[in-house]
Each structure stands twice: as C-alpha cells, then as structure tokens.
Amino acid sequence: MAAGADAHLTPIEVGLTAAIVAVEADEPRILVAADPKSDTRAGLPFGPFDPLAHRTFEIGLRSWVAAQTAINVGYVEQLYTFGDRGRHASPDDTGAHTISIGYLALTRMPKNAAGLFEPWYRFFPWEDWRDGKPDILDDAIVPLLEQWARGGKSEPARPLGRKERLRHCFGAGGSPWDEEKVLDRYELLYEAGLVEEARRDGREAIVARGKIPPLGEPMRFDHRRILATAIARLRAKLKYRPVVFELMPDVFTLTELQRTVEAISGRHLHKQNFRRLVETAALVEPTGETSTATGGRPAAQFRFRRDVLQERPAPGLRVGGRA
C-alpha cells in the first residue's frame, strides 16, 4: 500500500465562499454579491484563496471580505468543502474545475452595506415557521415530493428510501419538524428536481413538467447549497455556543434577543422558558437602563457577559421543543 505518497496531485482552483449573516428588524439576512455578467440570480460573495498572501483560509477570507465590502466580520467558521462536478456550473461555464470552501461569518448589520443584505427566507421560504407552518409546504412542496417518492422504488447504496427521507426531512406523516435539517431538505428538493439549480444541472423534474412553481429564489452556482449549510450550522450552534451575541447590538432587551433567536431558528419560542434559560445560563447582565421603544411596559436592557466564555465550557441557548 503505497499510500499515494508519490501520486502527483491535480491542480484545481480553490475559492472561499462566504455566507455572511446579519440580523436586522427581526429578519436574518445574508450578504449577496452584485451579479457579474448580468446574471439575474443572486450569489454569495467569494474570493480566491492565495496561499502566498495568507497563511490560513480564515485570514484570507477576512482579508478579501474586508477589501470587497468594508465589513469586518466577527465570528468565522468553516462549513464544508464543495466540489461536485456539475453543481458549480453556470450557463457560461468555462470547464475549469473549481472547489469552494464554504464559510459562515457573523456580523452586526453595517450602516453602509445594509442594502446588500437579503432576507435569507427569500431563498428558503419553507424554513420560516415563526407564524406557523408555511403554506408552501402543504400547497406545493409535500405534494410534489410525495409524487416524486412514488416513483423510483429502491435506489442502490441508499440507506433510506424516498418515502422515509421525505418523512424525516419534512416532518410528513407524524415525524416532527427539525429546524436543523435545512441542508437535508434542500438536497432532497434538488434530487427531486424541484429547485431551479437542479434543472440547470440537467436533472429533469420527475413530476409533471411545466407546472412546477419556483420553490424559493435560486442562486448562482451551488451557492444556495452553501447557504443551506450555513443556516443549518448556525441553527445548531445557537444551542451550545453564545454566537447570537455576534449578531446583537451591545445592549438589547430580552425580547429583542428572543426575536433574534427566533428569526434564526425559524421557530416561535416559549417566552418564559427562554428567559429562564438566558438567566440560568448567566449569559447576560442588566445595564440598569430601560427601553421604552415598543409601546408597552419599558423593557430592561442587558448586555452580553463576556466572562461566561471563561466560566462555562459550552454556554448556549438550548431552546427546547415546540412552543
């Protein structure tokens, strides 16, 4: 077993693609790039990785993000490396192979660049359950996926059948909705040919042609897939790391904090339980001020206690089940 040590490695272009998230007016938003070549679809900002200029991926990422957008991102985390042939293709593809290392970055909404951020639920309307189950699920998605599941009985080397995957991902047939399965849901829709990116990739929708409504706005290349990964990771991370505070202003009320968590996780939360959670985790401290912004009783203002990072090993907002 020679372990490939003498194999020469294929030269490939490596790009860093960033899902840069901010929350404004109770709406999670991502930075979309101005489109080159009059492509009407939105895309995520990306830049090349130059190992000569930057010692690590993260340094490189911060550098070109700052250069392109004047945004200094705070929290940065690698998501996944995407390299499927075909899924990076654009209509005018040159044939060169590109792999993209996806990154999640969090920032406070910058004053100057606010217009460049788009609400992320434009791209994933079925992920916003804050006002109950989105209509698009029962009206379009689940019926179309059920039709797809009836076709193609057993695929080789697939652990689960189509029906089971539909159940688990979309909570059909009694299974609960899991807000963290954002990527699984998108991938299922892709496989079923129900998102535009899949059709662009040559995958024909299994269901009746022509009458498929657009399921969320498409993005360039595989960027919607990367965004789905970012949302899923952020929703999961909220529960065991205090990352929300990267998205909050310095002082805030508990309701504002709850609204931000709800915006990200796409669910409604139980007020009292949320508050106790924040309190027992000792994540915040009162400033003493109150805010009389919203018209009811003035709310006490809080700030994030930075010292929790030194005290507790995994301080997050482990928000529970339904509410």
| Residues that bind DNA in the complex, under the rule CB under 7 A | 253-255, 270-273, 275-277, 290, 292, 294-300, 318-323
Determine if 164 is a binding residue for a second copy (CB under 8 A): yes
Q: Is 245 in the site for a second copy (CB under 8 A)?
A: no
- On the 0-12 / 13-18 / 19+ scale of CB atoms within 10 A, 30 is buried
E strands present in 234-316: 251-253, 284-291, 299-304
97 near a second copy (CB under 8 A):
yes
Burial 156-170 (b: 16+ CB within 10 A, else e): eeeeeebeebbbbbb
Residue 38 contact, options a second copy, DNA, none, Cβ 5-8 Å cut-off depending on partner type: none
Q: How far is the CB of 298 from DNA (least distance, A)?
A: 5
Q: Does 176 bind a second copy (CB under 8 A)?
A: yes
Q: Does 296 engage in binding with a second copy (CB under 8 A)?
A: no
Tokens linked to 220: 């360039």
Is 95 a residue that touches a second copy (CB under 8 A)? Answer: no
- Select the binding partner of residue 239 from a second copy, DNA, none (C-beta < 5 to 8 A, by kind): none
Shortest Cβ distance from residue 232 to DNA (Å)?
20
Binder of a second copy out of 2, 211, 272, 292 (CB under 8 A):
2
Of the pair 46, 126, the CB lying nearest a second copy is at 46
Q: Does 99 bind a second copy (CB under 8 A)?
A: yes
Q: Is the dihedral of CA 41, 19, 14, 97 positive or negative?
A: negative
Tell me, by CB under 8 A, how many residues bind a second copy.
Answer: 59
Say which entry of a second copy, DNA, none residue 292 contacts (CB below 5 to 8 A, set by partner kind). Answer: DNA
Contact status, residue 204 vs residue 196, Cβ threshold 8 Å: no
Contact map string, positions 38 to 77, toward a second copy, x by CB under 8 A = -----x-xxxxxxxx--xxx------x---xx--------
CA–CA distance, 113 with 33 (Å, rounded to integer)? 11
Cβ proximity to a second copy: between 185 and 259 the closer is 185
The least CB distance from residue 290 to a second copy, in Å, is 30
Q: Which helix (H) or strand (E) holds 275?
A: helix 271-280
Please name the residue that has the structure tokens 């929290």.
75
Residue closer to a second copy by CB (options 197, 256) is: 197
**Out of a second copy, DNA, none, which partner does residue 111 contact, by CB within 5 to 8 A per kind?**
none
Give dist(CA 281, CA 17) in Å, integer: 34
E strands, 127-279, in order:
251-253
CA 294 to each of CA 50, 122, 131, 256, 299: distance values in angstroms, whole numbers, following the listed order: 48, 27, 20, 11, 9
CB of residue 242 to DNA, shortest distance in Å: 15
Q: 200 Cβ partners below 8 Å, 6+ apart? A: 89, 91, 218
Q: Does the footprint of a second copy cover residue 4 (CB under 8 A)?
A: yes
